[in-house]
């Protein structure tokens, strides 16, 4: 079985994908990698040095942007991409990123987490907000701030994706306010081999907010492709 490397959103860990790690281990060899190097390029190099041979990549938001960076660096090693609520462009608000990093380091970690949760996840899903909050607190302010800093090094990968031949699954939370569904729809149009699925009422984290639906879609894609 091919490894399936899950790259969590900022500032999350393997719990973001726990339902999929548990449910898909019969068809892939799942693992999660929390990357927080100084740049996206450095995080990509770190992962490529840790995983041998070809592999599948799954990433949400920050993790999805890292997945695209890895695909750009080593397209021959990526057998398939599974992206969720991520923007292929450079970060649209560098000043906001710098302010977020400063606030985390100046003792506003919990406040930033709360604001992030309120924007990322619909208000009716308090369970997902609570789960995200626990993860973010456990990951800690240092990794959160480092990941925030690294977001400034995001490259524009719209061109990378337009020329990528890698099979790609796109699962999008349709209620996301960080990365609207229109971004996912545009990405689906330019990819050579894409499957796009939108989840109504879901926010920034499909794998956590809609674990059963996300897992079922992924299983179907993995089975149809018979990745080996």
pLDDT recorded at residue 189? 97
pLDDT recorded at residue 224? 83
N-term to C-term CA, the chain: 6
Per-residue pLDDT for 228 more than 70?
no
Compute φ and ψ for 178, nearest 5 degrees.
-75, -50
The answer to whether 194 and 3 have CB atoms below 8 angstroms apart is no
Per-residue pLDDT for 227 more than 90?
no
3-state secondary structure of 30: strand
pTM, 2 dp: 0.96
Query: What whole-number distance in Å separates Cα of residue 206 and Cα of residue 176?
Result: 10
Per-residue pLDDT for 226 more than 80?
no
- Tens-digit pLDDT profile for residues 181-196: 999 999 999 999 999 9
Tell me whether the omega of the peptide bond preceding residue 11 falls within 30 degrees of 0, making it cis: yes
Spell out the domains of the chain, with CATH numbers in brackets.
Answer: 3-92+154-225 (3.40.50.1820), 94-146 (no CATH)
- Tens-digit pLDDT profile for residues 103-115: 999 999 999 999 9
Per-residue pLDDT for 120 more than 80?
yes
């Amino acid at each position: 079985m091919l490894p399936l490397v899950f790259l969590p959103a900022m500032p999350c860990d393997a719990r973001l994908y726990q339902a999929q790690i548990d449910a898909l281990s019969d068809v892939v060899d799942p693992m999660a990698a929390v990357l927080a190097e100084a740049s996206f390029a450095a995080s990509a190099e770190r992962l490529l040095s840790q995983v041998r041979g070809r592999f599948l990549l799954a990433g949400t938001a920050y993790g999805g942007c890292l997945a695209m960076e890895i695909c750009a660096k080593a397209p021959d090693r990526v057998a398939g991409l599974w992206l969720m609520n991520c923007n292929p462009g450079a970060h649209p608000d560098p000043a906001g990123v710098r302010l977020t990093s400063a606030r985390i380091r100046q003792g506003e970690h919990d406040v930033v987490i709360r604001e992030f949760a309120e924007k990322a996840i619909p208000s009716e899903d308090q369970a997902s907000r609570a789960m995200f909050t626990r993860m973010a607190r456990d990951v800690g302010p240092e990794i959160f701030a480092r990941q925030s800093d690294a977001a400034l090094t995001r490259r524009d990968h719209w061109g990378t994706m337009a020329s990528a031949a890698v099979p790609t699954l796109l699962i999008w939370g349709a209620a996301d306010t960080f990365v609207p569904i229109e971004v996912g729809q545009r990405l689906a149009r330019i990819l050579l081999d894409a499957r796009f699925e939108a989840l109504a009422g879901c926010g920034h984290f499909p794998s956590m907010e809609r674990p059963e639906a996300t897992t079922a879609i992924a299983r179907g894609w993995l089975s149809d492709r018979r990745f080996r």
